[in-house]
Structure formats: C-alpha cells, structure tokens
Amino acid sequence: MRKIIPYNPKLLPLAKKLRANMTLSEVLLWNELKGKQLGFQFSRQIPIDNFIVDFYCKDLMLALEIDGSSHHPEIQQIKDKVRQERLESLGVHFLRFDDLDVKKNIRWVVNEIYQWIEVNRPTPSPSQEGN
C-alpha cells in the first residue's frame, strides 16, 4: 500500500507552469521516464509537502532532481539540503543528477535510476503474488 504524502495545494499553479516550461535536461529525462519505460509511473513537477520535485514516482517514493547552474551557489545548496532532509523525513528517497550529466550522458543517468529501482523495488506481498 502506497503512503500518501500531503502537499500544499497552493503549489499546483506553479507546478503546472513548471511543467509547461521544462528545461532541456528535464525534457530529455522526461522522454526516458514517461509511459512507464522503467517499469514504474513517474510524474513531473509534483508538489510534495511545501516543495515541488522535478520528477516523482509514488510507488517507489522516489524523487529525481536535476541540479542546474541555479543550484550551485552555496545558499541554494543549503536550501536544497534542508528541502531534501524534510522530504526524506516523510519517506521520500532522492536521486540527484547534474544538468550537464543529463544533457551529455543520459544513458548513464537512466542506468543509475534503473539500478536504484532494481535494488529498491517493492516486493509484492504474498497475498498479491500470482495475480
């Protein structure tokens, strides 16, 4: 059974705007994630608690973040750390990728996500096996 994490509904308009204005690296990664290509449904620009994550899989409780140049200043890194720690306290797992890695080595990024899924995928409960 999937854990429900609350979100701030006031973030929905911003999330919708972010979906309509994705960065190149977000578009590249989304093309690899959409349609359950890795076996799980991912969504993009999803409000969780009081934050918006780039990509999220509810079944895995996995957030994927792409860190571009706006994430490099020290103050932003501190904000990212606080944000990640808050979401991790709610049970969300994180994988972070640099914007340049997504643009220049998307196969490596997808493989890293796939490997995480293989290690951390939920196992079916005995009552669900064979269904």
For residues 37-69, one letter each, b for 16 or more C-beta atoms within 10 angstroms of the residue's C-beta and e for the rest, the string is ebebebebbbbbbebbbbbbbbebbbbbbbbee
CATH architecture of 9-13+24-120: 3-Layer(aba) Sandwich (3.40)
7: tokens are 């979100």
Evaluate whether 41 touches 59 at the Cβ level (below 8 Å): yes
Beta strands in the chain (DSSP E): 43-48, 51-57, 62-67, 93-98
Written as tens digits, the pLDDT of the chain (131 aa) is 678 898 999 999 999 999 999 999 999 999 999 999 999 999 999 999 999 999 999 999 999 999 876 545 677 778 888 999 999 999 999 999 999 999 999 999 999 999 999 999 887 765 555 55
